[in-house]
Chains A and B, each alone.
Chain A
Amino acid sequence: MAEEEQFNAGGLRVHWQPSDTFKTTTIVLHVKAPLEAETAASRSLLAQVLQAGTEELPSRRKIRYFLDDLYGATFYADVGKKGENHVLTFVMEVASEKYLQNESPLLPKALAFLLSVIQKPNRSEKGFPETIIQEEKQVLMQRIRNIVDEKTRYANIRMLEEMCAEEPFGVHPFGTAEELEALTNQELQETFERMIRNDQFDLFVTGPGTKEEITDAIHSAGENVGSGKTVASTATMHDAPAQVNEVVEKQSIQQAKLHLGFRVPYTVGSREYTGVLVTNGILGAYPHSKLFVNVREKESLAYYAASRYEPYKGIVFAMAGIAPDQYEKAARIMQEQLEAMKRGDITEEELTTTKQMLKNQILEQVDSARGAIEMNYQNVLSGANRTVDDRLREIEAVDMDTVISIAKAIQLDTVYLLTAEEGTA
């Protein structure tokens, strides 16, 4: 894939990366603001309402018809967090006319539509249509209520809520059901105006199109949005408490979910970032990692036992699905794996295998348009502008001493257990 070309169109930062590898063009618009309890619900409802209609196509069904006619182009909006940033994401994917008979370029139409979602939404002086607000509130409400129905995801959200109760990172990007219920049309309007004025807009386009095809739509859209300034995004850093925070919650379930939250004082912009990736890899990202080998293969305690690094915040979390009566044993074995790393109990093979896996993952990531875009957005957010080659070189340079010193900086903060009620297991 060619290197990314970046240019500004008004307040819109455009990241253009042509590629003939794909049969479709992918367009992603990320809209970033700080993550705050006060604004999460209104911004997530805004994402729902904006994708339900534009000035020209004022209903979901009209949008659907337009997309179908563009050979089933994909379009959706979502909201998520990248560390302590609240990011609205609008995604489109459209087929290249190269593979279709007698078609004119589809990309300009797709792009113009995607930008109209934020540029020309379906609203009047009175605000957004009240019926759409009500429908989308219901749908979002259901999504919030359903979080508890997916146990692994729920346990992870609860662990983070407990661990980061005093930090923005503890806020769920959807907001709460109560906040959502209370929202008015007026507030939603204000949220929209604030977004257009203050947020950071990054538009990524990658696929087999040409730059000429995207220029017109982009220039007219860019005039509308913000100042083009970057929104500051430094994560708040916290040390682990002197006493580990333990939380046990019960539900009528068969398998217990054990989640451990660790603090690590390095984020994506740090010099140590790549070192943390390797350290986490040895701990629990792969089948050769300590958690998988010791919790699953040796002790047969779990089907999954893994760890993940949240690089925008500085948290490592480990998780396993276990029989409820194995809680103490599993928690002890999981913690022992990190302790072993702190003592330097790591083989050369664990280190080199992890580095191989990480390098491989990066090369695979850029084989997909979404993966390549994600990597570029990480550069935008971290300011660290790592190319694929930089990333591979940085991984190669991580040595045993670095891993041990990073492991020593990882501190257990919270142990969360979602387990069976007595008599239900």
Chain B
Amino acid sequence: MEKQHYEQIDETIYMERLSNGLNVYVLPKADHNKTFSIFTTDYGSIDQTFTPINSDQMLQVPDGIAHFLEHKLFEEEDGSDAFDMFSKRGAQTNAFTSFTRTAYLFSGTSEVEANVETLLDFVQSPYFTEETVENEKGIIGQEINMYNDDADWRLFFGLISALYKNNPVRIDIAGTVQSIDDITKDMLYTCYQTFYHPSNMVLFVVGPVDPEETIQLVKANQEQKSFPEADTLARTYGAEPQESFEREKKIEMNVQTPKCLLGYKEPNEQYPLPGLAYELGVQLLLDVMFGLGSSTYEKLYKEGVIDNSFSADFTMERSFGFSAIGGDTKDPDRLVSLLNETVDAYQQQGLGEEEVRLAKKRKIGTFLKQLNSPEFIATQFTRYEMNGDTLFEVVPTLEKMTIGDLENILNRHFRPERSSVVKVEGDGS
């Protein structure tokens, strides 16, 4: 067991890599009631074309299969489901699928050891039949339709599918009602066996627990199970052009207020800074240019072009990265032209010391707020770990960031040929 103490934020983390390859992390929080634990595999919606375990032939599976698999893992062979086992101990369980990861979690205030074991066991004992797979199609179909009526979700996916031509990030995480209809139990087993190998997974436990005992518990649990040798895993995402796929796109649906996003796609080449620094750098820049304290925000707000739904975010994961700026607006064209003018002005004039100093301060304070949440720590630590970074390096990385670093990013990321504008507008109904 290794141990790392982070002085500035006063947190200690314990970790061990087990012989089957599973990475286990424990963060003790003695003064909490709740234990939160998340078991994550490095496998998400974009992983559709890959070499299955023990094969060197590429296989392509239907859209939405990683998410479908997430739903099905809760079911047990004896007809019970994992929800029941956690509920009896008063614990809540859930799962989510992102572009690059699938995660299973619980939170509870008693019988922590039993809950950790249940989490490991239900994820590591897949059981599906043709019948249960068919039954799930109705439930997921309603989940998909719920998102189809959600204008913010449609806007967000509208942007990604305008930016990307080939990368499967452009496909909705849950797939479509048609695509999930093609999913069979055998395909689910193939994906499971390929991506749910312990060496492709991370377990994180945070709460009033003893690190040594927790790691021993996980070790004992894993030693009772047998896994095949880890195989090299090849995945492909298609060749993605540098420029955006569609510069402009309009989606008609039943909304009162239009919605609009401007986005920029990252080019597929080496990032000029290490991953964590690059991601934080783009976020800082977005905050300087469009954050609540920026003159652009003030101007748009005073004109009534934006409201508090306005945001500017950057996401960077395995094989893709993009920013998204916008929200509800009565005047999408005015919004886009002011956003573009702001980018141009900054590219010409550079950044000011004071605004960068404040943006860093704000980001550090926000980060400390987030550390109050065990869910945030566990989920984000895992995410950073899978990207080869460390969550607790955020503050020192921010402190080290220079104006020069930010100006490099400014000139590289914000390029018109890599941008898209997407609007959701009323269909008159």
- Give residues in A with beta carbon < 8 Å to B: 20-24, 59-61, 64-65, 67-74, 93-96, 98-101, 131, 135, 138-139, 142-143, 145-146, 148-151, 251-255, 286-288, 296-297, 300-304, 321-323, 349, 352-353, 356-361, 363-364, 366-369, 421, 424
Interface segment among B117-125, B138-146, B226-234, B415-423: the answer is: B138-146
Instruction: Name the residue in B8, B31, B140 with the highest tally of chain A Cβ atoms < 10 Å from its Cβ.
Output: B31
Closest to B110 in A: A360
A61–B298 touching, CB < 8 Å: yes
Cα(A353)–Cα(B80), bound, Å: 15
Residue from B137, B257, B374, B427 in contact with A142 in the complex, judged by beta carbons closer than 8 Å? B257
B337 close to A (CB within 8 Å): no
B361 interface residue (CB < 8 Å to A): yes
Quick one: which of B359-385 are within 8 Å of A by CB? 359, 361-366, 368-369, 371-374
Contact of A301 among B138, B368, B369 (CB under 8 A): B138
- B172, CB-defined interface residue at 8 Å: no
Question: Can you list 18 A-B pairs, Cβ within 8 angstroms, ordered by A?
Answer: A23-B368, A65-B358, A68-B362, A72-B363, A95-B365, A95-B368, A148-B256, A253-B254, A254-B149, A255-B145, A255-B148, A255-B149, A297-B81, A356-B90, A359-B109, A363-B34, A363-B109, A367-B34
Beyond A61-B298, A71-B368, A287-B83, 12 additional contacts (C-beta under 8 Å) are A61-B295, A64-B293, A68-B359, A74-B369, A98-B10, A253-B149, A301-B142, A352-B88, A353-B90, A360-B108, A361-B92, A364-B109
Cα–Cα, bound, A287→B148 (Å): 24
Selected from A21, A71, A296, A357, the residue in CB contact (under 8 A) with B92 is A357
Residues of A within 8 A of B309 (CB): 146
Total interface residues on B, using CB and 8 Å? 69
Pick the 9 closest A-B CB pairs, nearest first. A71-B365, A72-B362, A300-B138, A356-B90, A72-B365, A360-B90, A138-B304, A303-B143, A252-B429
Contact B84 A288 (CB under 8 A): yes
Q: How far is the CB of B112 from chain A (nearest CB, A)?
A: 12
* Of B33, B142, B150, B254, most A-chain CB atoms within 10 Å: B142
B235 at the A/B interface (Cβ < 8 Å)? Answer: no
In the assembly, what is the distance between CA of A304 and CA of B308, in Å? 28
- Chain A residues with CB under 8 Å of B149's CB are 151, 253-255
Q: Does B410 contact A (CB under 8 A)?
A: no
Given contacts A99-B8, A142-B257, A321-B146, contact A21 B32 (CB under 8 A): yes
Interface: B61 (CB within 8 A) = no
Q: What is B's interface to A at a CB cutoff of 8 Å?
A: 8-10, 31-34, 81, 83-84, 87-93, 107-110, 135-143, 145-146, 148-151, 253-257, 292-293, 295, 298, 301-302, 304, 307-309, 328, 330, 358-359, 361-366, 368-369, 371-374, 427, 429
| Given A72-B361, A252-B253, A321:B145 Cβ within 8 A | yes
Please indicate the chain A residues that have their CB under 8 angstroms from the CB of B137 in the complex. 300
Residues of A within 8 Å of B89, CB to CB, are 356
A296 contacts B139, CB within 8 Å? yes
Tell which of A139, A255, A323 touches B308, judged by Cβ atoms closer than 8 Å: A139
Are the CB atoms of A146 and B328 closer together than 8 Å? yes
A100-B364 contact in complex given A303-B146, A353-B88, C-beta closer than 8 Å: yes
CB-based contact A303/B293 at 8 Å: no
Q: A421 — which chain B residues lie within 8 A by C-beta?
A: 429
State how many angstroms separate the Cβ of B231 from the closest Cβ of chain A.
Answer: 35
B254 touches A23 (CB 8 A): no
Contact between B257 and A146 (Cβ–Cβ < 8 Å)?
A: yes
Residue in B closest to A21 when the chains form the complex, CB atoms: B31
Contact between chains at B32 and A367 (CB < 8 Å)? yes
User: Closest approach, in angstroms, between the C-beta of B415 and any C-beta of chain A?
Assistant: 29
Residues of A within 8 A of B108 (CB): 360
The CA-CA distance from A393 to B220 in the complex, in Å, is 36
A364 and B307 form a contact (CB under 8 A): no
In whole angstroms, how far apart are the Cα atoms of A303 and B141 in the complex? 8
Inter-subunit contact A367/B33 (CB<8 Å): yes
Q: Contacts A65-B358, A73-B365 given: A287-B87 contact, CB under 8 Å?
A: yes
A64 to B429, CA, bound (A): 39
Q: Select the residue from A142, A148, A321 with max chain B CB neighbours within 10 A.
A: A142
CA distance A255 to B143 in the complex (A): 9
B residues less than 8 Å from A69 (CB atoms): 358, 361
CA gap between A27 and B31 in the complex, in Å: 21
The residues of B that contact A361 with a CB separation of less than 8 Å are 92
List chain A residues, Cβ under 8 A from B92: 286, 357, 360-361
Contacts of A303 in B (CB 8 A): 139-140, 142-143, 146
Contact of B90 (CB < 8 Å), options: A93, A150, A151, A357: A357
Instruction: Establish whether residues B254 and A251, one from each chain, have CB atoms under 8 Å apart when the complex forms.
Output: yes
B140 cross-chain contacts in A, Cβ below 8 A: 303
* Complex partner residue of A72 from B81, B135, B139, B366, CB under 8 angstroms: B366
**In angstroms, how far is the closest chain B Cβ from the Cβ of A424?**
8
Residues of B within 8 A of A253 (CB): 149, 254
Picked from B31, B81, B109, B301, the residue with its CB within 8 Å of the CB of A135 is B301
Task: Looking at the assembled complex, report how far the CB atom of A128 sits from the nearest CB atom of chain B, in whole angstroms.
Answer: 15
Complex: how many Å from CA A371 to CA B333? 41
Q: Is the CB of B330 within 8 A of A142?
A: yes
Residues in A whose Cβ lies below 8 Å from that of B365:
70-73, 94-95
Closest Cβ of chain A: how far from B141's Cβ, in Å?
Answer: 8
In the complex, which of the residues A67, A139, A150, A286 contacts B87, with contact meaning CB atoms closer than 8 Å? A286
CA distance A421 to B254 in the complex (A): 12
Measured between beta carbons, the chain B residues less than 8 angstroms from A23 are: 9, 368-369, 371-372
A35 to nearest B CB, angstroms?
Answer: 23
Chain A residue contacts of B8, Cβ below 8 A: 99, 101
A56 to B336, CA, bound (A): 33
Whether the Cβ atoms of B151 and A149 lie closer than 8 Å is yes
Bound complex: CA of A64 vs CA of B362, how far in Å?
10
Taking the closest CB of chain A, its distance from the CB of B331, in whole angstroms, is 12
Output the nearest chain A residue to B177 by Cβ-Cβ distance: A254
* Chain B residues near A143 (CB-CB < 8 A): 307-308
Residue on B nearest A418 in the bound complex, by CB: B149
The residues of A that contact B31 with a CB separation of less than 8 Å are 20-21
Measured in the bound complex, the distance between the Cα atoms of B149 and A253 in whole Å is 6
B6 shortest CB reach to chain A, Å: 10
- Neighbouring A residues of B135 by C-beta, 8 Å: 300
A93–B369 touching, CB < 8 Å? yes
B256 touches A254 (CB 8 A): no
CB B87 to nearest CB in A, in angstroms, measures 5
A368 touches B372 (CB 8 A): yes
Contact call A149/B255, Cβ cutoff below 8 A? yes
CB of B279 to closest CB in A, whole Å? 18
- B10 to chain A: which residues have CB within 8 Å? 98-99
Could you say which of A74, A139, A321 contacts B304, with CB atoms under 8 Å apart? A139
- Pick the contact of B302: A72, A135, A368 (CB < 8 A): A135
Interchain nearest-CB distance for A193 vs B (Å): 27
Taking CB atoms, residues of chain B closer than 8 Å to A74 are 369
**B87→A357 contact, CB < 8 A:** yes
Residues of chain B contacted by A101 (CB below 8 angstroms): 8
- B295: min CB distance to chain A, Å: 8
Closest to B358 in A: A68
Q: Which residues of B contact A93 (CB under 8 A)?
A: 369
Kindly provide the distance from the CB of A98 to the nearest chain B CB, expressed in whole angstroms. 8
* Cβ contact within 8 Å between A302 and B142: yes
* C-alpha gap A23/B8 in the complex (Å): 11
In the assembled complex, the CB of B357 is this many whole angstroms from the nearest CB of chain A, namely 9
| A254 and B145 contact, CB distance less than 8 A | yes
